[in-house]
Amino acid sequence: MNWKHTISMAALATMLAGPAFAQDKQQLAFVVNAASDFWKLAEAGVNKAQAELPNYELQFRYPAQGTAALQNSLMDDLVAAGTDAIMISSADPKNSIDAFNRIAGQVPLFTTDSDAPDSDRIAYLGSSNTLAGEQAGEIAVKALPDGGKCMGFVGFLGADNAIERIAGFRSAIEGSGIELVDVRGDDVDFARARSNVDDVLAANPDITCMVGFYSYNPPKIYEALQAAGKLGQITVIAFDEDPITLGAVREGSFAGTVVQDPYQWGYQGMLLMAKYLEGDMSGVPEDGLIIVPTKVIDAANVDAFEAELKARIGG
């Protein structure tokens, strides 16, 4: 063997050893459904988990757009790049079953935020969207003792989290004189989310209540009501903890908001996947559902809640 051949073989060995060494840490990925500020808390939770999981490399990934096709393509890319487990908030779980099963056949797959129970995912970690919807309905019943007509606004009408929240809301308002007339979808198009509210204000003067079922819907409701001079005239029930939403709750423009705990989704989700990869499956319940409680935020507890949020993101 001449020296040139010896050197080339050594170089090849170095090149082969480099990536192998880089891949020593197992990789966990958290994939969200859209680029929304809502996910900053989940990302903070993932960052906390990273500090406790030095032997893992954690990734927090946004799809280029909030579509099932791009999410599923992103998961394929992650698997191809050597990712060892994935947690995803699906934009369209019902139409992603085949893609989910393909991914789940290669790496452990978990869901959060919007479940895909008919897929081969291992477990769902997140809110009970039905219970959260019921909490929103209870806010409405308290705020509208004489009844009223509500219009709902949401991103993905077909997503399980939307369907379950709407069903929970309808269940809670049954017999109260409150009617959820309709729910308008926007496919996480923020301009459309705003125009949906504007259209309702123009075409449905009998609406006395609005419900924003996704995190960005309540701020768009606020913007539209403010522009129309109707803040405080229409009862608003919100979801999640956008700063505009919390400010509206504080000033009394919104009756209240139902908040989830995406920080814990990110934090607990990463720890759950790491344990699973290590062979510890004790964190996966028999029914595959790990429920992180939701709670109602109103004028009485909004300041304390906001302080907790700032501490988590800052930490």
Encode pLDDT of 21-60 as tens digits: 445 899 999 999 888 788 999 999 999 999 999 999 999 9
pLDDT recorded at residue 1: 38
Query: Residue 209: its pLDDT value, please?
Result: 98
Digitized pLDDT (tens) for each residue of the chain, 315 residues in all: 333 333 344 344 444 444 444 458 999 999 998 887 889 999 999 999 999 999 999 999 988 887 889 999 999 999 999 999 999 998 888 889 999 999 999 999 999 988 899 999 999 999 999 999 999 999 999 999 999 999 999 998 988 889 999 999 999 999 999 999 999 999 989 999 999 999 999 999 999 999 999 999 999 999 999 999 999 999 999 999 999 999 999 999 999 999 999 999 999 999 999 999 999 999 999 999 999 999 999 999 999 999 998 888 875
Query: At residue 187, what are phi and psi to the nearest 5 degrees?
Result: 55, 35
Specify whether the CB–CB gap between 123 and 110 falls below 8 A.
yes
Q: pLDDT value at position 23?
A: 56
Q: Which residue, chain included where needed, has tokens 């960005």?
A: 216
Going from the C-alpha of 150 to that of each of 95, 130, 224, 238, the distances in angstroms are 29, 18, 16, 12
**What are the E-state strand segments in 104-190?**
109-112, 124-126, 148-154, 178-185
Q: Would you state the structure tokens that stand for residue 89, as one six-digit string?
A: 């908030």
- Both tokens of residue 78? 């992650």
The pTM of the full predicted model, rounded to 2 decimals, is 0.79
Percent of the chain with pLDDT over 70: 92
How far is C-alpha 311 from the chain's CA centre? 20
Helices (H) and strands (E) counted in the chain, each on its own, are: 11, 12
